[in-house]
Amino acid sequence: MKAAVIVFPGSNCDRDLAVALRAAGIETEMVWHKDTSLPEGTDLVGVPGGFSYGDYLRCGAIAATSPVIRAVHDHAQRGGYVIGICNGFQILTETGMLPGALLRNAGLKYICRTVPLRVATAESVYTTGYASGDTINIPIAHHDGNYIADPDTLSRLADEDRIAFTYADNPNGSVHDIAGVLSENRRVLGMMPHPERAADAAHGGTDGRRLFAHLADALESA
């Protein structure tokens, strides 16, 4: 099992994500955004949270043009696994690897707190450690987490069971309370909350630990 965590100028959750992956038993390598390839044997790509390029222009817009993104896109096209968290989710929507967009929070303020999430589907390698309908507590830290998509896309996401997580108490105005979505092949996940910040009891909670533990199991058996 091998993961690559992409590092952009302004990433600030890359180390946290790497620590959570390694704690789950996944060999993890940091990859600079100017690299043009992923390490040989990469199973999973992590696109971390933070403020890539200072959120200039639009969150994730500049990072989406980084040289390494072509390799990430090709990895996803080959059926590889990709997880984008917070700014990583924004980047994945900017690249078109996931549908929709993330707008300014409805309250126009940065939000940083732990929120209750509902697991909307257990049918993915990322959510198989939970039961559909479970409520878990995961931190958020974003200014532009208001998920939006056109009505056809929203219907397709619902019909295809591709909504991974929803907010139990919507903090940012996201349509249908959406906190995370899956790609058509269910191997790319984007989510605004930070499971890597809820993977160690010493840091306040472990509800995110199961995501990484069961992801490791899925990669090992793939």
Residue in 33, 75, 142, 194 annotated catalytic: 194
Q: Quick one: DSSP state of residue 169?
A: S
Residue with tokens 């302004």: 10
Active-site position among 86, 94, 142, 214: 86
Q: Give the residue from 107, 105, 70, 102 showing the smallest Cα distance to 89.
A: 102
Q: Which residue has the tokens 């995370």?
A: 180
Residue 101, classed as helix, strand or coil, is strand
The yes-or-no answer on residue 196 being catalytic is yes
Q: What phi, psi does 74 have (nearest 5°)?
A: -65, -40
User: Measured at the alpha carbon of residue 196, what is the angle toward residues 17 and 107, in degrees to the nearest 5?
Assistant: 115
- Of the listed 33, 94, 196, 214, which one is catalytic? 196
CA distances (Å), 76 to each of 125, 149, 165, in order?
15, 21, 21
- Contact by Cβ (8 Å): 85, 191: yes
The DSSP line for 188-206 is EEEESS-GGGGSBGGGTB-
Residue found under tokens 């990430």: 72
Shortest CA distance to 118 belongs to which of 58, 153, 164?
164
Residues involved in catalysis: 86, 194, 196
